[in-house]
Amino acid sequence: MTNTLLTIGHGFSASALTRLLAPLGWRMFGTTRSPEKFAALKAQGVTPLLFPGGNLTEALAEVTHLLISASPGENGDPFLAKYGSKLAQLAPNLEWVGYLSTTGVYGDRAGGWVIEETPLTPSSNRGLMRVEAEEQWQGSGLPVHIFRLAGIYGPNRSAFDKLRKGTAQRVIKEGQVFSRIHVEDIAQTLLASINRPDVGTAYNVSDDMPAPPQDVLAYAAELLGISPPPEVPIEEAKLSPMARSFYEDSKRVSNDRIKEDLGVTLLYPDYRAGLEAILASETRE
């Protein structure tokens, strides 16, 4: 049977996985909220479907692998809300389910390290909804794998873009540290799990170098040959409520499990390597 992937919420991370699967002969479906995005999905070799609003039953009958990339709402995971009780019957060939969560489920650790067994104590409502969605999927009876993603970056979604737009701020909060992950390393981790499934397992997906956000901006500016934005204390920074909420959590995320259990060797083990590669790819274009 042809390996067939259905992605619920086909965005940045799912597109990176698509680029790995297409040469392997996979058939791929992906959902979007907007018919205007159908052409972009087709260009990736993905059959576009509308969700919510569309009917996914025909695609579910064919899928062997399911990737959930859509955010949960106040009532939990929207896909499970519609199809959860019937999924085993609707998708009888399902071998693997990946749920893309976030390291926000760990809450604030004052810069300390977290592993997958660290208690989930989210500090935001958004993080709490992720915890609840993880629990829903783990209780679904399906072959679920949880991926807790650190801050995602990659081409057209990095410190370079903020610097070029003039919107970058080197926000300073003493002791603040974040973990990150390049989108291509997310994709290779997902593929490694598909090739080596371990139902019920959660994985932290992060690079080797947690770092203060201002350091990343400064290095990106150096690569561009421009002066970095001035430092701004967090109390004075002009941040949206969403952006400010990210500064509520400070932690370092261990990635030992993806290396030891899945055999992942990171393409971009730190933000320096990732930024350098992004800039080099822009130069080639």
Domain boundaries, the chain: 4-153+180-207+252-267
The whole-number pLDDT of residue 54 equals 84
pLDDT level of residue 282 (50, 70, 90 thresholds):
confident
Confidence label for 183 from pLDDT (cuts 50, 70 and 90): very high
- Section 64-83 average pLDDT: 92
- Assign 191 to helix, strand or coil: helix
Predicted pLDDT of residue 4: 98
Domain 4-153+180-207+252-267, CATH class in plain words: alpha beta
Query: Mind listing the pLDDT tens digit for each residue in 268-280?
Result: 999 999 999 999 9
The confidence band for 73, taking pLDDT boundaries of 50, 70 and 90, is confident
pLDDT tens digits for 201-256? 999 999 999 999 999 999 999 999 999 999 999 998 888 888 888 898 999 999 99
Q: Cβ of 219: how many Cβ atoms within 10 Å?
A: 18
pTM of this structure:
0.96
Three-class DSSP category at 141: coil
What is the DSSP annotation of 60-76? HTT-SEEEE-SPPBTTB
pLDDT beyond 70 at 156? yes
Q: To which H or E segment does residue 216 belong? A: helix 213-224
The values of phi and psi at residue 88, to 5°, are: -60, -35
**What per-residue confidence (pLDDT) applies to 240?**
85
What is the CB-side half-sphere exposure of residue 219 using CA atoms within 13 A? 16
β-bridge mates for residue 149, sequence order:
102, 205
* pLDDT tens per residue across span 40-54: 999 999 999 999 888
**What was the pLDDT predicted at 227?**
95
Q: pLDDT averaged over the chain?
A: 94
Q: Nearest-CA neighbor of 193 among 252, 153, 148, 137?
A: 148
pLDDT at 162 over 80: yes
| Predicted pLDDT at 244 | 85
Q: Report which of 163, 157, 153 is spatially closest to residue 268, judged by C-alpha positions.
A: 153
- Residues 171 and 165: their CA atoms lie apart, in Å, by 17
Distance (Å, rounded) from C-alpha 114 to C-alpha 262?
19
Task: Return the pLDDT at 285.
Answer: 58
Band of residue 284 on the pLDDT scale cut at 50, 70, 90: low
- Whether 136 has a pLDDT exceeding 80, the answer reads yes
66-84 exposure pattern, b = at least 16 Cβ within 10 A, e = fewer: bbbbbebeeebbbbbeebb
* pLDDT at residue 85 tops 90: no
pLDDT > 80? residue 157? yes
